[in-house]
A and B are shown apart, each in its own frame.
Chain A
Amino acid sequence: MTVTLDQIYAVTGVFLLIFTVLTLLDKKQSGKWGTAMFWGIYGITFIWGKEIPPAVVGAMVVVMALIAGAKWMGMGDYLSAATDFRRKMADKLGLWLFGPALAVPLVTFLVAWLFPKMGALVGLGIGSVVALALAFLLTRIMPVQAFQEGRRMLDAVGWAIILSQFLAALGFLFDKAGVGKVVAEMVATVVPVDIRLATVIAYCVGMALFTMVMGNAFAAFAVITTGIGIPLVIKMHGADPAIAGVIAMLSGYCGTLLTPMAANFNVVPAALLEMQDKNGVIKAQVMTAVPLLVVNIFLMYYLAFPGK
């Protein structure tokens, strides 16, 4: 039996539509219509994304961005369990609680290894369904409540869940418009692009610096990879795209450690811990992030050019 990615997308879409219905039925939901529309539209793009004309999907995506930008989304009432119930159940179920949670990665890896044609993504989908079944067996929870819990977690993430897809779309437009070429030409005026190590340094340091400016390694990745990574490191010097790409992303994460723009990771925790210096977390991270960036430069230089 083969499971396709499209089937996994359909299941995801059905989940989203269930969340939409639960949102509409929730009497205490704040921003009810905005939230329901957002998840509803999103669910439709998962189920019928390929059938609907791309321009219409594009318009739907714009509507989602407007809902998020207008702050029309909110939290609801998920009929959550009280603290003492969670404590009691934690003592009763103990380490078994980790069973379903670990089933997700286990099935993901197994499917990716044993059925490379289906791949890790289909594996993740199958793993989620298997884990959900195990969780039902373990907890004997009502299915509707399981989706309430899922909705609780999704509402907590909110519109940010589609940010990656947005950034990929932006990268696609950048690529169509030839932004990469312009950035590459600019970099070529300051970096000796004939030297492989110089291009690797430009890619990794560029990722770190751009992440610091934008506060987000994902956003930086789309720009720096089309601008420096692909034209200079991959095309010109023949780096393996997969290896160079992942190490570039990790170089970006070194930048995340160094910037107050990544507020959730650096500034909010300082406030949360009642630190006097709101940059105290960043200061603690400098002497780890800088050596680690250097390590990543060498890793890309030595690993990403197999046989060259």
Chain B
Amino acid sequence: MIKLIGVVIVIVGLLFRFNPLLVVLVAGFATGMVAGMSPVDILSAIGQAFVTNRYMSLLILVLPVIGVLERFGLREKAEDIIRSMRTLTAGRVMFVYQIFRQVTVGLGLQLGGHPSFIRPIIAPMTEAAAAREGARGTAWLERIRGMSASAENYGNFFGQLLFPAAGGLLLVKGVLENAGYKVDLLIMAQYAIPSAIAASAIALVRFLLLDRAIRSADKNKGGEQA
């Protein structure tokens, strides 16, 4: 039981919002100590694992390219593309954005995010689309904003593992290889596809239900939860 001290430290540390690096470090040392390792052994284990898993942070190489493209208007151009779907219903805007996010993050591109896309572009578009159908007022705004924000999360989470050098896959690889299992990144990325499709399908149903609720907004003030 005492061996679980590291797990407890991680949970408590993160709950109290300490810096996650420090939390992980303390948990690692505590775990090593109760397993009878000397401080030098623990440092060696940390150093060895840190070096073996450097590949998890290779995205550093991509940063200058993306930074340069951003300087020359990459985000502005992406916004133009999203804005061109101005005439769609709220649910369809959310779905198109989600697919855009899923596909781009699946190609290893971080184009999107709540501050840069949902707040300035998607939320105003969906709110305007819903208002056109008569869905106005605080209750509708809350519901539409919540679902707009969710589209970003669905696209991001269930698209990112499609990219064979994604951080999530690299962590899976690292943990499994520490335990002695050799795994292939391309195969892992392939097996992320069914979940990605399921996520899009479930989200599509939710967004279409939202559109239906919006269409009957005047008869059904406030609407029920889709």
Contacts and interface: CB of A to CB of B under 8 A. Distances in A.
Interface string A181-195: 011000000000000
Contact of A214 (B14, B61, B195): B14
B27 A112 contact: no
Interface string B174-203: 111011010111111101101100110011
A80 B71 contact: yes
Nearest to A49: B51
B interface: dominant SS = helix
Interface in A23-61: 45-46, 49-50, 52-61
B54 A272 contact: no
Contacts of B123: 273
A93 interface: yes
A interface: dominant SS = helix
Interface stretch (B4-12, B84-92, B212-220): B4-12
Given A105-B108, A178-B3, A247-B195, A8 B77 contact: no
Contact of A131 (B62, B75, B157): B62
Contacts, number: 460
Contacts of A98: 74, 77
Contacts of B42: 58, 173
A149 B172 CA distance: 30
Contacts of B178: 168, 171-172, 175
A93 B73 contact: yes
A272 B118 contact: yes
- Which one of A58, A112, A139, A151 has the highest number of Cβ atoms from chain B below 10 Å of its Cβ? A58
B54 to A, nearest CB: 6
Interface residues of A, number: 149
Interface string B160-176: 01011101111111111
Interface in A64-112: 64-66, 68-69, 80-81, 85-91, 93-95, 97-98, 100-102, 104-105, 108-109, 112
Nearest to B178: A172
A21 interface: no
Contacts of A268: 114
Interface residues of B, number: 119
A235 to B, nearest CB: 10
Contact of B54 (A49, A85, A153, A246): A49
Contact of B115 (A124, A125, A272): A272
- Which one of A148, A178, A246 has the highest number of Cβ atoms from chain B below 10 Å of its Cβ? A246
A152 B199 CA distance: 33
A189 to B, nearest CB: 13
Contacts of A56: 47
A230 interface: yes
Interface string B85-116: 00000000000000000000001110000110
Contacts of A234: 181
B35 A177 contact: yes
Contacts of B77: 90, 93-95, 97-98
A265 B151 CA distance: 11
A60 B50 CA distance: 10
A108 B164 contact: yes
Interface of B: 1, 3-4, 6-7, 10-11, 14-15, 18-22, 24-25, 27-28, 31-32, 34-35, 37, 40, 42-77, 80, 107-109, 114-115, 118-119, 123, 138, 142-143, 145-150, 152-154, 156-158, 161, 163-165, 167-176, 178-179, 181, 183-189, 191-192, 194-195, 198-199, 202-203, 206, 225-226
9 contacts: A65-B22, A97-B69, A102-B107, A146-B64, A173-B42, A243-B187, A250-B192, A261-B14, A265-B114
Given A173-B31, A215-B14, A281-B150, 9 more contacts: A9-B55, A12-B57, A54-B44, A59-B47, A123-B165, A132-B68, A154-B60, A171-B175, A287-B226
